[in-house]
């Protein structure tokens, strides 16, 4: 099946990207979404509409094989857009409290520059990566370190994937945001 993918990175909560997918050069699907899955991977959500009963209905119906091919192509296109390579080595250390599951140190693969004080934290909604912040005079928190959106997505996915893998080996925690 001929599939053309055009995704835009948005990084809004669990929403990673939104875009358009064209099938066989004649069916254009808009608002195809890539969402961060609880296991650290990605889910592809196709456009749906809500019926009068409140139930959601797919706007395009594909066979299981076609759907799997479409999901693979969307994820491949997104990886390409994100430059695929995480430029940091992820080093995990066990956390020391109920909310802090792990401390993370990122070491840039080319320069050796290290980013520290990154945490994997637990909340009611699952695990998330918290970058160093400082409380400002107005009470708000400000990030001390910022990564470009495409790099941040790769780093967070890599960190959560490693934590999930360790948890699986230990047989604990399954709720990852």
Banded model confidence at residue 177, pLDDT cuts 50, 70, 90: very low
Residues 95 and 165 in one domain: yes
Residues 76 and 101 in one domain: no
Residues 103 and 138 in one domain: yes
Residues 25 and 68 in one domain: yes
Give me 65's structure tokens.
């094989």
Residues 72 and 94 in one domain: no
Banded model confidence at residue 50, pLDDT cuts 50, 70, 90: very high
Q: Which residue has the tokens 């857009």?
A: 81
Residues 47 and 66 in one domain: yes
Instruction: Assess if residue 154 is contained within a domain.
Output: yes
Instruction: Assess if residue 127 is contained within a domain.
Output: yes
Check if the beta carbon of residue 110 is closer than 8 Å to that of residue 40.
no
What's the domain count of the chain?
2
Q: What is the CATH number of the domain that holds 115?
A: 3.30.1120.40
pLDDT per position as a tens digit, 51-109: 999 999 989 999 999 999 999 999 988 887 776 678 899 999 988 777 898 999 999 99
- Which carries the bigger pLDDT value, residue 113 or residue 166? 113
Q: What is the mean pLDDT of residues 35-50?
A: 88
Check if the beta carbon of residue 33 is closer than 8 Å to that of residue 45.
yes
Q: Provide the 8-state DSSP code for 161.
A: H
Instruction: Assess if residue 99 is contained within a domain.
Output: yes
Q: Which domain holds residue 59?
A: 3-81
**Residue at a domain's end among 46, 81, 116:** 81
Instruction: Assess if residue 114 is contained within a domain.
Output: yes
Residues 136 and 162 in one domain: yes
Q: Which pTM does this prediction carry?
A: 0.54
Instruction: Assess if residue 71 is contained within a domain.
Output: yes
Q: Is the predicted pLDDT of residue 174 greater than 90, yes or no?
A: no
Residues 121 and 98 in one domain: yes
Residues 51 and 125 in one domain: no
**Residue at a domain's end among 81, 114, 137:** 81
Residue partners of 50: CB distance under 8 A and separation at least 6:
56, 57
**Residue at a domain's end among 81, 112, 147:** 81
Residues 165 and 96 in one domain: yes
């Amino acid at each position: 099946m001929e599939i053309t993918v055009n995704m835009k990175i948005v990084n809004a909560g669990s929403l990673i990207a939104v875009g358009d997918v064209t099938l066989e050069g004649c069916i254009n699907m808009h608002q195809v979404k890539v969402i961060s899955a609880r296991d650290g991977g990605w889910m592809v959500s196709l456009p749906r509409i809500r019926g009068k009963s409140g139930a959601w209905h797919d706007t395009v119906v594909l066979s299981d094989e076609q759907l799997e091919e479409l999901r693979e192509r969307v994820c491949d296109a997104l990886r390409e857009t994100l430059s695929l390579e995480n430029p940091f080595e992820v080093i995990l250390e066990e956390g020391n409290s109920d909310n802090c599951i792990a401390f993370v140190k990122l070491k840039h693969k080319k320069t050796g520059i290290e980013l520290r004080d990154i945490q994997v934290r637990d909340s009611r909604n699952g695990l998330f990566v918290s970058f160093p912040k400082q409380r400002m005079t107005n009470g708000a928190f400000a990030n001390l370190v910022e990564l470009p959106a495409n790099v941040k997505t790769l780093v967070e996915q890599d960190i959560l994937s490693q934590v999930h893998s360790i948890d699986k080996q230990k047989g604990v925690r399954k709720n990852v945001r």
